[in-house]
């Protein structure tokens, strides 16, 4: 009787969790997908979950039932149970059944795989894909667009267009991992290797993620976000950013992404020393030297930066020098 | 000696006298009131056996320092590993405090990364593996009816290497630049770029521990292969011995790869001896090296390591469940051979830790299939254990509680592994708290629960006393509840996007689960205090028990508790996988054995 109650309780629990799992919230399934590849991963998760939950319920119900049903009660402390040494047919059953289930799971993965891994050349409505180079660095993400536009940490992308990401890290940097949960799985940014992944966001919005491979002291603050814009807005932004002028906006992104994570938003210091009021900030040559080559424990955060990127940082620092708080 | 009652027998003993001795041994020994250490009389024994032992070897402390007795070495292993368990556990609780809420400012990023690294490394290399090696040391010769391991001195060397390797790791906190900060995996190039000495000491420590494990593994293999008593064929060997045998082969097969990888890492960091300096570039992309190569070297060892920690735990469960269900193990051969199958497959699936490095999908598919294949023999074990419970006479003493807790928790850890094996899903959950939850369900809820089952179960054999049941139950329930409260919510955190190894987070949505997890970790901590109290109390005034308090099946229970230095005066001829069950049955057939129950 009690076993039945436990069984009923477990089933109720499973029934209660199922909507949460299907709704993709509360952490019972990957976050609500916003891109076809993430959607297919989500489907795979649901498919696998059917078997996982079934096996889980089966094992735990059997366990609880046996614990209740075969407890000692009034039998003697050391009274032997029936001396059953095994039954080949039953054992074969529980060897073969998992094999069948695993074949089903594996088959489903292969069925979904092309839709997850292959980057589409164009959207369903025929718009050609956009290619963005994503570079993971201690401790920020740099994005380079085909027209030469550069952005830091926040990736702008058009809605409804496939975006192919070429993910890498500079030779002298460490391994990072690119991951925006709503837009698909993660892919490592490895020095000397260029990996690819993609997404095609269905609608405008901002999707957050962060570096998923321990990359040093400020790994936890290496955040990334994707801001999906309507196609026209995106085109305007890209043209503006790609014009090659020292943009204050880019300078601010660089300050926040490459400098402030260690030195503090106001330059007040963090794991790195305070730099508020430092003469270096106003001295283009000194700043360029230290940013491009690093110094002491500071990594060369700006090695490989274009002249425009250095100019942008200077322009931003001239306009709003860090105030110390 | 700690033998009960007077009756010594002639050397030429008959089957009848073996019966008598076993029967006598079932009675609790009431004459000795003080608690003696296992083999506490060892020094006197060996002094009479080998008169030329120098006097100082017999001192209370010195006798432990110079011992080559497998039982004492086993106990040293376990005690040392439990001390490291306390240290690494405190590290974990500090990290949980740091993560209890968003933007906590308790540990800085450098301190946090040190704790992440040393907690992981210590729990694996200094806690789980050594406790299992310690149990193996204590039990394998007793279970196979041998007097000691094949190479007792090598065994002592293996223990002392472990102890000093552990000290090197713990003391690296005080090194120039602090302890290693690159995680227990020490991925290049992060680990090659860290200027501090902590990373070098980490490599040194693992090298020492590797040497220790290799010596231990050779010892286990030679002992099990050659020193089984009369009648003990491979299929009459206790299942724990089976798992230790596969454990030893896995160590032998995979540790050299780790050593090679770590040596390359050390050379990449650059070495200078005298004025001579050298630096290689195996993993340095700027010089044409490959960072991914290190991951292959590491995981070719790293994944079998999981089974190195899991298999002997399975062995413990396979010993405990039948005794407390009063039934033979269901499908002995299936359980034994599935151990071998798991060991074999475990060496074919290392790259499932590398699904996100951008390997070709054909390769990912291969490693998915092998990872899933290992689920089959693991499932066989779970169902065989369940079937052993079926129609049993279940007794819920603490060893059994931990074994049943293991079953319910390990099932979750095994099942969440299926998600990780399906590599597109792994692309979502890799390197997140989902993986942290999964690995703790396997290693803490799996191996560590089994280890506690084993410690409660074999404590009477080691020390002649039994751990307190009431405190034991508190220990179990606090651990069981605390464990699930700590780690179940971490699955959700991972799915919501929280990566592992972050020292802080600024996402308010993650706070609820994180706080729950932190509270759970303190409940577990309280459970461990109960264990410490139990050990302390039993040490002072534990109840003496007979040689076979659980009426178990395997040979170690035939020896006295604690066993003398030479283990057995005589070993009964082994006629099945359950020699003591056979003895009891024949006793019952003979006369009024039942009266003593």
Closest in B358, B416, B428 to A193, CB measured: B358
- Does residue B184 carry a catalytic annotation? yes
What kind of architecture, by CATH, is found in domain A130-241?
Sandwich (2.60)
Closest in B291, B373, B379 to A175, CB measured: B291
Is the distance from CB of B283 to CB of B270 less than 8 angstroms?
Answer: no
B67-596 sits in which CATH class? mainly alpha
What pLDDT sits at residue B36?
Answer: 38
Is the distance from CB of B142 to CB of B563 less than 8 angstroms?
Answer: yes
What pLDDT sits at residue B1?
Answer: 36
Q: Which residue is closest to A42 within chain B, CA to CA?
A: B425
Is the distance from CB of B431 to CB of A212 less than 8 angstroms?
Answer: yes
Sheet of A195-199, strand order: A150-152, A140-144, A130-137, A163-168, A195-199
Query: Tell me, what's the ipTM?
Result: 0.92
What kind of architecture, by CATH, is found in domain A2-71+87-117?
Orthogonal Bundle (1.10)
Distance of alpha carbon B201 from alpha carbon B169, whole angstroms = 7
Neighbours of B128 (CB within 10 A): 26
* SS3 state of residue B42: helix
* SS3 state of residue B390: coil
The reply to whether A193 touches chain B by the CB within 8 Å rule is yes
Reference B457, options B403, B533, B386; nearest CA is B403
Q: What are the domain boundaries of chain B?
A: 67-596
- Does residue B352 carry a catalytic annotation? yes
**Is the CATH number of domain A248-319 3.20.20.70?**
no
B542 pLDDT higher than 90: no
What is the phi/psi pair of residue B155, to 5°? Answer: -60, -45
Higher pLDDT, B285 or B34: B285
Reference B74, options B301, B312, B258, B307; nearest CA is B312
- Residue numbers of B between 410 and 469 with CB closer than 8 Å to A: 411-412, 415-416, 418-419, 422-432
Closest in B326, B387, B501 to A214, CB measured: B501
Q: What are the domain boundaries of chain A?
A: 2-71+87-117, 130-241, 248-319
Q: Which residue is closest to A63 within chain B, CA to CA?
A: B386
Q: What is the mean pLDDT of residues B449-457?
A: 97
- Does residue B119 carry a catalytic annotation? yes
Q: Which residue is closest to A28 within chain B, CA to CA?
A: B492
Q: Which residue is closest to B400 within chain A, CA to CA?
A: A67
- Does residue B378 carry a catalytic annotation? yes
- Does residue B501 carry a catalytic annotation? no
- Does residue B148 carry a catalytic annotation? yes
Asked if B375's CB is within 8 angstroms of A75's CB, the reply is no
- Longest distance between any two alpha carbons in chain B, whole Å: 81
- Does residue B57 carry a catalytic annotation? no
Chosen from B195, B326, B593 to mutate, greatest number of chain A CBs within 10 A: B326
The reply to whether A105 touches chain B by the CB within 8 Å rule is yes
Minimal C-alpha gap between B424 and chain A (Å): 6
Minimal C-alpha gap between A59 and chain B (Å): 8
Asked if A30's CB is within 8 angstroms of B428's CB, the reply is yes
What residues contact residue B457 under an 8 Å CB cut-off, 6+ apart? B316, B319, B320, B323, B399, B550
Q: Are strands A205-210 and A154-158 parallel, antiparallel or unpaired?
A: unpaired
User: Would you write out chain A's pLDDT as a tens digit for each of its 325 residues?
Assistant: 455 555 566 665 665 555 455 444 678 888 999 999 999 999 999 999 999 999 999 999 999 999 999 999 888 888 899 999 999 999 999 999 999 999 999 999 999 999 999 999 988 888 889 999 999 999 999 999 999 999 999 999 999 999 999 999 999 999 999 999 999 999 999 999 999 999 999 999 999 999 999 999 999 999 999 999 999 999 999 999 988 676 889 999 999 999 999 999 988 988 899 998 888 888 889 999 999 998 888 889 998 899 889 999 999 998 888 887 6
């Amino acid at each position: 009787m009690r076993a039945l109650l436990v069984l009923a309780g477990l089933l109720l629990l499973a029934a209660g969790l199922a909507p949460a799992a299907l709704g993709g919230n509360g952490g019972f399934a990957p976050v609500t997908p916003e891109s076809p590849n993430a959607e297919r991963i989500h489907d795979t998760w649901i498919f696998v979950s059917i078997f996982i939950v079934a096996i889980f319920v089966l094992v735990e119900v059997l366990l609880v039932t046996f614990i209740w049903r075969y407890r000692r009660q009034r039998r003697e402390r050391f009274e032997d149970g029936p001396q059953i040494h095994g039954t080949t047919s039953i054992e074969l059953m529980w060897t073969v059944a998992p094999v069948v289930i695993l074949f089903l799971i594996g088959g489903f993965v292969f069925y979904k795989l092309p839709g997850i891994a292959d980057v589409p050349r164009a959207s369903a409505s025929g718009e050609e894909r956009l290619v963005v180079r994503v570079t993971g660095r201690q401790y920020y993400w740099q994005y380079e667009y085909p027209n030469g536009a550069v952005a830091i940490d926040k990736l702008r992308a058009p809605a409804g267009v496939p975006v192919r990401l070429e993910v890498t890290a500079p030779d002298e940097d460490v391994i990072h991992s690119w991951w925006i949960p709503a837009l698909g799985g993660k892919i490592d940014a490895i020095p000397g290797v260029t990996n690819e992944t993609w997404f095609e966001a269905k609608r405008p919005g901002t999707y957050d993620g962060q570096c998923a491979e321990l990359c040093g002291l400020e790994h936890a603050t290496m955040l990334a976000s994707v801001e999906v814009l309507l196609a026209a807005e995106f085109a305007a932004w890209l043209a503006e950013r790609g014009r090659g002028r020292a943009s204050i906006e880019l300078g601010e992104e660089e300050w926040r992404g490459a400098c402030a994570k260690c030195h503090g938003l106001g330059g007040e210091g963090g794991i790195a020393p305070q730099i508020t009021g430092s003469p270096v900030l106003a001295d283009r040559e000194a700043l360029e030297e230290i940013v491009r080559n690093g110094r002491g424990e500071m990594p060369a955060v700006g090695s490989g930066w274009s002249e425009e990127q250095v100019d942008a940082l200077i322009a931003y620092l001239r306009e709003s020098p860090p105030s110390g708080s | 000696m700690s033998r009960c009652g007077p009756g010594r027998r002639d050397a030429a003993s008959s089957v009848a006298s073996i019966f008598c001795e076993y029967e006598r041994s079932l009675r609790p020994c009431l004459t000795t009131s003080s608690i003696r250490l296992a083999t506490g009389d060892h020094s006197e024994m060996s002094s009479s056996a080998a008169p030329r032992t120098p006097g100082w070897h017999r001192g209370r402390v010195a006798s432990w320092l110079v011992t080559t007795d497998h039982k004492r070495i086993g106990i040293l292993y376990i005690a040392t590993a439990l001390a490291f368990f306390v240290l690494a556990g405190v590290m974990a609780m500090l990290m949980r405090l740091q993560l209890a809420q968003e933007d906590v400012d308790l540990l800085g990023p450098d301190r946090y990364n040190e704790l992440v690294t040393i907690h992981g490394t210590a729990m694996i290399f200094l806690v789980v593996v050594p406790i299992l090696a310690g149990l193996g040391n204590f039990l394998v010769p007793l279970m196979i009816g041998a007097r000691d391991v094949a190479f007792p001195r090598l065994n002592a060397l293996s223990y002392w290497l472990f102890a000093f390797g552990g000290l090197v790791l713990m003391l690296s906190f005080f090194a120039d630049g602090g302890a290693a900060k690159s995680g227990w995996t020490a991925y290049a190039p992060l680990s090659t770029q860290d200027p501090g000495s902590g990373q070098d000491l980490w490599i040194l420590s693992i090298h020492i521990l590797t040497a220790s494990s290799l010596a231990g593994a050779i010892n286990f293999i030679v002992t099990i292969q050659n020193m089984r008593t009369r009648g003990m064929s491979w299929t009459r060997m206790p299942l724990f011995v089976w798992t230790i045998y596969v454990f030893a082969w896995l160590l032998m097969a995979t540790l050299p790869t780790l050593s090679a990888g770590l040596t390359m890492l050390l050379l990449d960091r650059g070495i200078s001896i005298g004025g001579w300096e050298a630096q290689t570039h195996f993993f340095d992309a700027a010089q044409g090296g490959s960072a991914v190569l290190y991951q292959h070297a590491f995981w070719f060892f790293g994944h079998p390591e999981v089974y190195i920690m899991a298999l002997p735990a399975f062995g413990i469960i396979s010993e405990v469940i039948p005794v407390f269900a009063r039934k033979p193990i269901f499908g002995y051969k299936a359980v034994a051979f599935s151990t071998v199958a798991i060991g074999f497959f475990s060496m074919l699936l290392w790259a499932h830790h590398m699904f996100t490095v951008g390997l070709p999908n054909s390769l990912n598919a291969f490693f998915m299939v092998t990872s899933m294949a290992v689920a089959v023999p693991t499932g066989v074990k779970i169902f065989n254990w369940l079937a052993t419970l079926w129609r049993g006479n279940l007794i819920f003493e603490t060893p059994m509680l931990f074994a049943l807790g293991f079953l319910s928790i390990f099932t979750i850890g095994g099942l969440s592994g299926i998600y990780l094996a399906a590599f597109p899903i792994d692309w979502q959950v890799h390197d997140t708290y989902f993986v942290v939850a999964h690995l703790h369900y396997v290693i803490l809820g799996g191996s560590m629960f089994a280890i506690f089952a084993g410690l409660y179960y074999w404590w009477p054999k080691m020390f002649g006393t039994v751990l307190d049941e009431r405190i034991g139950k508190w220990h179990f329930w606090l651990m069981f509840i605390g464990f699930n409260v700590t780690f179940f919510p971490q699955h959700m955190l991972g799915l919501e996007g929280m990566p592992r190894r972050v020292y802080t987070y600024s996402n308010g949505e993650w706070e609820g689960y994180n706080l729950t997890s932190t509270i759970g970790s303190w409940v577990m901590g309280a459970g461990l205090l109960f264990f410490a109290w139990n050990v302390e109390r039993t040490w002072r005034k534990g109840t003496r028990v007979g040689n076979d308090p659980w009426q178990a099946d395997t040979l170690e229970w035939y020896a006295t508790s604690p066993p003398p230095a030479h283990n057995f005066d005589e070993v009964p001829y082994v006629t099945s996988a359950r020699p003591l069950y056979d003895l009891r049955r024949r006793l019952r057939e003979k006369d009024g054995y039942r009266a003593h129950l």
